Amino acid sequence: MGTTKSAYFTSEQNDLSNGLKALAHPARIAIIQYLLEKKSCMCGSIVNELPLSQPTVSQHLKELKSAGLIKGTIEGNTVCYCIDQEQFNTLVATLNKMNDELNGQCNDCC
């Protein structure tokens, strides 16, 4: 979506779109699941957990960070990553809100 068109939508809609776009790849979901499983900041070991090259993993981490779903802190020559809990919770809350609205709808309307 072009920058000029995103102005027609709410910030909640744009944020949800960016978050879901970042999660729309199995490698990125695997990274999120790995970080959730470890419950701590992870440095170089993420590459060892995926069947992808280091540059490819770095690109996926960049996309997740750009969407605000993970945070990265520099420690020496490495970047350590963890879930940005506030952003992740906002994404989940928006989806839950939509799900609640769906549950209030008629199931046989179409």
Predicted TM-score (pTM) of the model is 0.82
Q: Which H or E element spans position 70?
A: strand 70-75
**pLDDT tens-digit series, residues 11-32:** 999 999 999 999 999 999 999 9
CATH 3.10.180.10 fits 11-103, yes or no: no
Rounded to whole angstroms, what are the CA distances from 98 to 41, 47, 103?
A: 31, 34, 9
Give 42's DSSP letter. B
**pLDDT tens-digit series, residues 54-84:** 899 999 999 999 999 999 888 777 888 999 9
Whether residue 101 has pLDDT greater than 60: yes
Whether residue 93 has pLDDT greater than 70: yes
How confident is residue 2, by pLDDT bands cut at 50, 70 and 90? low
Whether residue 1 has pLDDT greater than 60: no
